[in-house]
Structure 1
Amino acid sequence: MTTPAPPTTADSPHPAAQLKRRWPTVLAVAVVALNVLASGSQDVADAVGGFAQTLPLLPLIYLVVNQIGKPQATWPVLGAGTVLVFALPFQDALAPSTVLVALALAVLAWGAVRGTPHGRATFGVQAAGALVFCGLALAGLAVDPDLGRCLLAAGWFFHGVWDFVHLRLHKVVSRTFAEWCGVIDVLVAVQLLFLV
């Protein structure tokens, strides 16, 4: 004779429903776990270079989605940015970070000239974030790899905080992206500090 499972209430939703609702977190943990497994015992300089080349993509996504003015564009913008990040290393003319920073500056100029759907204050916050995170990425590439690792860990961690603030405020990007990106960013910071 089996005992029926206790009924779920509004206060205690079924675990499957919780998991379904938290799919961005589950996906983020899976992505970082696969990255850790794939990177194995990576050289510090290689890890710093790889994460530094990718970090400018994060504020660029916010800038582009802010200029579009539609949070539902977040995931397609991420897809386009990811293709760009993976395609750029196949050419030797420009580093991916250089292209991403240049794109961020172009979007900043676009917003300064054209205006922005969310207003000047939100644009100013996004601009400041882009300058800080792109600056940390470029600084991480310019210094000794051990110091670069610390700068990049700070950049990734604080971008995670940035994501969680945007998740809480429900501003600029989609909530699912903010949750997903925040978890990835914090886990990448941990990876940089303790696993590389």
Structure 2
Amino acid sequence: MQAPHPHATTHATAERPHPAGVLKRRWPTALAVVVVALNVLASGSEDVADAVGGFGETLPLLPLIYLVVHQIGKPQATWPVLGAGLVAVFALPLQDVVAPSRVLVALALVLLAWGAVRGTPHGRATFGAQAVGALVFCGLALGGLAVDPDLGRHLLAAGWFFHGVWDFVHLRLGKVVSRTFAEWCGVIDVLVAVQLLFLV
């Protein structure tokens, strides 16, 4: 009887990485799935208008984070910027004067003007791409909030989905924002788009 090859077990282990190792590498994806699952559970039987309002008011935060980090010029600032943005998203609805989405869009426009006048750390080409992204995603957010909720959810689903594509492109390029954020945000964006289309 032939003895097993001494490296057989090693090869099998190398071909099938340990689940803990996969989770360690893909923690942004795991965290994104947990965040969206908790949101789905918390929203329960949320109606279309409420879902459109919530996701529409939040969508402009996504390109705004990119603009802020782009102007800072340090990808490692991405997670702190996200934290500040989430505080703003939760705090802004406490006032009834201006819709949160309009405040976020106004901040994005200020950053675009600042970049156009003062220059940017990543150069004009990257800044131009960020500007186009900000205008498209903020436009979809405002458009989704302005129309009938059933049409609005489709516009917002498009905005969230294509921002997910935007994240994955940045993940591949490794530019502007941190790679862990790009992965986390990309998964969340795509799942939110699915939620808007099928779970609301």
TM-score interval (norm. to shorter)? over 0.9
Shift of 1:10: 4.7
Deviation at 1:86, TM superposition (A): 0.3
* Aligned pairs for 1:1-196 within 5 A: 6-7=9-10, 9-196=13-200
**What root-mean-square deviation, in Å, do the aligned CA atoms of Structure 1 and Structure 2 show?**
1.0
Which structure has the larger Rg? Answer: 2
Cα shift at 1:43? 1.0
What's the CA shift string for 1:34-93, capped at 9, x where partnerless? 000000010101100100000000000000000000000000000000000000001111
What are the ranges of 5 or more consecutive residues in structure 1 without an aligned counterpart?
1-5
> How many aligned residue pairs are there?
191
C-alpha distance in structure 2 between counterparts of 1:126 and 1:118, whole Å: 11
Instruction: Quote the Cα distance in structure 1 between the aligned partners of 2:85 and 2:107.
Output: 11
What letter matches 2:32 in structure 1? A
The letter of the residue matching 1:28 is A
Change (3 A) 1:14 1:60: same
Percent of aligned pairs sharing the same letter: 86
TM-score by length of 2: 0.93
Letter in 1 for 2:94: F
Deviation at 1:15, TM superposition (A): 1.5
1:3 aligned partner: none
Q: For 2:120 and 2:193, how far apart are their aligned partners in 1?
A: 31
In the TM superposition, residue 9 of structure 1 has moved relative to its aligned partner by 4.9
Give the TM-score of the pair, scaled to structure 1.
0.95
Give 1:122 shift: 0.1
Q: In structure 2, what is the Cα distance between the partners aligned to 1:15 and 1:42?
A: 35
Q: Which amino acid aligns with 1:173?
A: V
**Displacement of 1:14 after TM fit?**
1.7
Letter in 1 for 2:190: V
